[in-house]
Structure 1
Amino acid sequence: MPNSPVQDRVKAVAVMLSTLAVIALNIVAATGRLNGVTPAEISAKYPTVITPAGWAFSIWSSIYLGLLAFSIFQMLPSRIASFSELRVPYLVSCLLNAVWILLWHKFYIGLDAVVLLALVIVLLSISAKLRRSDSFVGAILSKGVFGLYAGWVTVASLVNLVVYIVSTGLQMSVTDWDLIGIPVLAIAIAASIFVRIRLRNFVYPLPIAWAAAGIGANQSGNTPIVVAAAITCIGCLIISGTVVTELKSSTT
């Protein structure tokens, strides 16, 4: 049953408020005012062979600015109805994002990995619901923003799984850790191919390429991981770049 105009407006406002709340929570977390520790400090406590360099995490600024722009865009009178079916899943994604941050800062690494995986699924479901936009701006603020968000969270969920293994205290050689890290990067490429083909989202592979560059930089002395990260980065850029052929075919 379709929502009434009033319900759509209420949910549109809820989307904006939820976005602001998530951004505020992340600012609090990033400044160390949540349990007295920052996300980076927790990450440093559990180093992995696929944790990106610190600079790679600056992508969160772009993601949250994009979500803020989307939240404003979906409140426009001309867009109220068109985003109707996306708002509830988006609100769920905001809740999962907040729970993820809270669990991470309480060192519930295993539960955190489960929540992150759930967030990936919700974000991909949102991407699947997005229809072709009638404008370039609309495409950037919908498919673009959620492609960026989903792609980065996919990487975060994969890293978190390895972080969980590290948190258990399992002792392995560098070679053994590489044998875990390399297949994880292969999964990231496979996810990029799937989303690019099935959901027709060419932005999704870009944050994965960015993360792979960060992983390579952070593992400069680990040749197998550097090579795997380079292949992942280049592969994802090529996957994303296939949009050029799609645009050419649509204009001929």
Structure 2
Amino acid sequence: METRSTDLARQITVTVSLVICIVGSMIGVGVFGGTPIAQAAGGALAADSTLLAPATPAFSIWSVVYAGLVAFTVWQWLPSQRANSRQRSLGWIVAVSMVLNAAWILSVQAGLLLVSVVIILALLVTLVLAFLRYSQSRAASWVEAIVVDGTLGLYLGWTSVAVCANIAAALKASGFSGLGLRPEIWSVAVLVVVAVVGIALAIKGHGRLALAAAIAWGLVWITVGRSTDAPESFPTAVAAAVAAALVLGAAITVRARGVMAGAGAGLGAGVSAHR
């Protein structure tokens, strides 16, 4: 495929965006002396802040996501990827997502929770757009499947859960009373929505496991958090566990059906060839 002048610009933009993202993440963990995210904004996003807050170990997934983004950035610099159609459709979107990631961290550090909700929703929309694009084609190799599909799947899956925790934290900080409904009703309702969305993404993405695994990861840690730490909530813990099982189960089922269908088609072609 012929190289365009915008290809180099895209590669450079992705790289600069990665640097911004990494610096933002370092600020988020307090490397430069700032307040860690869990303690920023009065602890609004701490593991014990709301019913939808995952336990602290859940956030270790960010290390995997960031490592994947580094790998994605290196991958897109390979000569074979400069004019690659997948990279052309994804590069700019991934760059935007990394800048939004850093902007989200800075907004939380500044205590601007409502602004952080707007930013993380924009991040979610950006990652869904990327998902819709890379789901239209298969990775050309197992390396690309891990570096591109796997990284972006984890990124979207975790962000899907983080959005819920972020909105819950912002509502609590703003004094939202729940319209007279018990907190557990709201948390269970949100988890039902997460399960439905996760299943829909599993179907749309042909059972992409990284995406489902990241959603399930976040949900399982909500279960752990609400079972072992304040505010404890048995209904929320159970709903999160069931949602995790449904999302992961849906992805595995869709994936298995796809593999079986492919094997069946191959067997049929082989039989026809020998007739």
Aligned ranges 1:184-203 → 2 under 5 Å: 184-200=190-206, 201-203=208-210
Gaps of 5+ in 1: none
For residues 182 and 44 of structure 1, the distance between their equivalents in structure 2, rounded to whole angstroms, comes to 25
Equivalent residue, structure 2, for 1:52: 54
Q: Tell me, yes or no, if structure 1 residue 240 matches structure 2 residue 251.
A: yes
Equivalent residue, structure 2, for 1:139: 145
Equivalent residue, structure 2, for 1:69: 71
Gaps of 5+ in 2: 265-275
Equivalent residue, structure 2, for 1:225: 236
2:129 aligned counterpart, secondary structure? helix
Deviates more, 1:65-74 or 1:4-13: 4-13
Output one character per residue of 1:7-44: Cα deviation in whole Å (capped at 9) or x when no partner.
Answer: 2023112212211221122112202636x311011377
What is the one-letter code of the residue matched to 2:220? A
What is the one-letter code of the residue matched to 1:149? Y
Q: C-alpha displacement at 1:3, in angstroms?
A: 8.8
Greater gyration radius: 2
Equivalent residue, structure 2, for 1:41: 39
TM-score under structure 1 length normalisation: 0.92
For residues 216 and 50 of structure 2, the distance between their equivalents in structure 1, rounded to whole angstroms, comes to 18
What is the one-letter code of the residue matched to 1:109? L
Matched residue count: 250
Q: C-alpha displacement at 1:175, in angstroms?
A: 7.3
Mark the CA change 1:43 to 1:207 in structure 2 (over 3 Å): closer, same or farther.
farther
Mark the CA change 1:32 to 1:109 in structure 2 (over 3 Å): closer, same or farther.
farther
Q: C-alpha displacement at 1:138, in angstroms?
A: 1.0
Please report the RMSD computed on the Cα atoms of aligned residues, expressed in angstroms.
2.2
For residues 135 and 13 of structure 1, the distance between their equivalents in structure 2, rounded to whole angstroms, comes to 24
Equivalent residue, structure 1, for 2:105: 101
For residues 209 and 226 of structure 2, the distance between their equivalents in structure 1, rounded to whole angstroms, comes to 27
Q: C-alpha displacement at 1:123, in angstroms?
A: 0.7
What is the one-letter code of the residue matched to 1:170? F
Percent identity between the two aligned chains: 28
Q: Is contact 1:3–1:84 with CA below 8 Å preserved after alignment?
A: no
What is the one-letter code of the residue matched to 1:117? L
Equivalent residue, structure 1, for 2:273: none
What is the one-letter code of the residue matched to 2:83? A
Q: Tell me, yes or no, if structure 1 residue 111 matches structure 2 residue 122.
A: no
Output one character per residue of 1:185-206: Cα deviation in whole Å (capped at 9) or x when no partner.
Answer: 1111111112122233332121
